[in-house]
Amino acid sequence: MKYPNGKKLSSTKEKLSLPDNSFSNRGMSLEADINVTNNYYLQTNKAVIHKKPTPVQIVNVNYPKRSAAVITEAYFKQASTTDYNGIYRNKYIDFEAKETNHKTRFPLANIHNHQIEHLDAIIQQGGIGFIIIRFTAHQETYFMKAKQLFRYWNDKLNGGRKSIPYDAVKSECYEIPFHYYKRVDYISIIDKLYF
């Protein structure tokens, strides 16, 4: 949009350096949406949350020329814990983000024992631990507290269900509505639950 004098309107989007995406682009991955949200939080001084890098051991590098090194072989050093961590209102935040194409359930095979142990350690130390689950078939994203996840995990270990029913997630967890700038506004859920 331009004013009658020909000058372009400065938009909030330009000030925040956010990508030009609309509600029609909701097919983005959950991780990409969370990264956009975290960038919004950072640029508006709301929170400092980052994606954790996966620890990798580089074994072989091909140097066709000095400025174009190519990693040809690498291995994971250790199992990664969860996807994101940071700080909000003096509280440590740690969470995992998962998507599923299943319409009726979230398979617990998407979660690993070391992630459960890590989230449990976060909770024991007074941090805020949770999982964000997106059901892509329903275009719905949910916030599940780590303690809720532990209940389903323990049930699985004791011979119970190997998944969490969609209906249980819908009724027990907190839906995160999609927003233009803060696409996965999990901080609004944290505000309601912890502050």
Give the span between the Cα atoms of 72 and 17, in whole angstroms.
34
Query: Under a CB-based contact definition with an 8 Å cutoff, are residues 32 and 67 in contact?
Result: no
What's the Cα-to-Cα distance from 1 to each of 4, 8, 25, 168, 181, rounded to whole Å? 10, 6, 22, 45, 19
Amino acid letter for position 73: E
Q: Where are the alpha helices (DSSP H) in the chain?
A: 12-16, 30-43, 113-124, 146-157, 166-172, 186-194
Q: pLDDT per residue over 67-98, tens digit each? A: 788 878 877 666 678 999 999 999 999 999 99
Domain with residues 12-53+79-194, CATH architecture: 3-Layer(aba) Sandwich (3.40)
Domain boundaries, the chain: 12-53+79-194
List the structure tokens of 137: 């078939």
Per-residue pLDDT, 59: 78
Per-residue pLDDT, 47: 97
Q: pLDDT per residue over 15-43, tens digit each? A: 454 444 433 344 459 999 999 999 999 99
What does pTM read for this prediction? 0.78
